Amino acid sequence: MTTEVAHQDVRLPDGTRIAVHRSGDPEKPPLVLLHALGENATSWDAVGERLAPHFSLFAIDLRGHGASEWTGPYSHEGMRDDVLAALDVLGLRDVGLIGHSLGGVVALFAAMEQPDRVTRLVVEDVVPPFPFERPIRDRPDGPLPFDWDVLPAIFTEANDPDRRWWPHLRRITAPTLLIGGGPPSHVPAEELAEVARLIPDCTLVTIPAGHHVHAAEPEAFTDALLGWLLP
């Protein structure tokens, strides 16, 4: 087992390069981690230390983020397809999947698309796209750790008046842990409760830390995670 991170570039069938950050015990079950919008795989470092003894960790930079290629077009479904293709290239069939915010939506979509592939699903403070206006701010000055074009593309998709993905939550067969950020978060509690109702086997836990639960309260987050994941 190692807490050191090894960086691996995965070339998808369409030629896109996706960066994967590997750590943990290679003999243990694989756990795939997906970050939020504008972040990258290093956002999981704080909790990775405690997960490493129990899992083989694969933290992925989503397309347009970090060390992965910054090539559009960008969409939730496209990122889902990237992740599933990367798992194929890595030879990973049965995986635990953890996602925060944007990464959580991608994880939900992956579990809908290939339910037999996901053994456990953890979603941090996010729900599928629903009618919720997200203002697109101006690009800040200076270099960024992600392609700014990702933001308007994802924000536009995230405001979905038709809720077209919600009925597909019933297709998720993996036991699911949904971790909400409580009142400090912008994600409505009633929407999280509806997700928990629609996924056949879902446990909803609230840690009142705001939207970035695993960053604000890493110990509480990993306690909840390990208590649910480990036998």
Say which CATH number the domain at 41 has: 3.40.50.1820
Work out whether strand 56-60 and strand 95-100 pair parallel, antiparallel, or are unpaired: unpaired
The pLDDT, as a whole number, for residue 3 is 62
Three-class SS of residue 22?
strand
Q: Facing residues of 17 across strands?
A: 11
Q: Which DSSP helix (H) or strand (E) runs through 107?
A: helix 102-113
Q: Can you read off the two tokens belonging to residue 227?
A: 């208590």
Tokens 């695993």 map to which residue?
Answer: 214
When divided into structural domains, the chain yields a total of: 1
Domain that holds residue 20: 2-229
Rounded Cα distance between 34 and 203, Å, is 20
What averages of pLDDT result for each successive group of 10 residues across the chain (231 residues)? Answer: 80 96 97 98 95 97 98 96 98 97 98 98 98 84 95 93 96 98 97 98 98 97 97 79
pLDDT of residue 1: 46
CB 106 within 8 A of CB 62: yes
* Lookup: tokens for 146: 């992600």
Q: Is 31 exposed, middle or buried (0-12, 13-18, 19+ CB in 10 A)?
A: buried
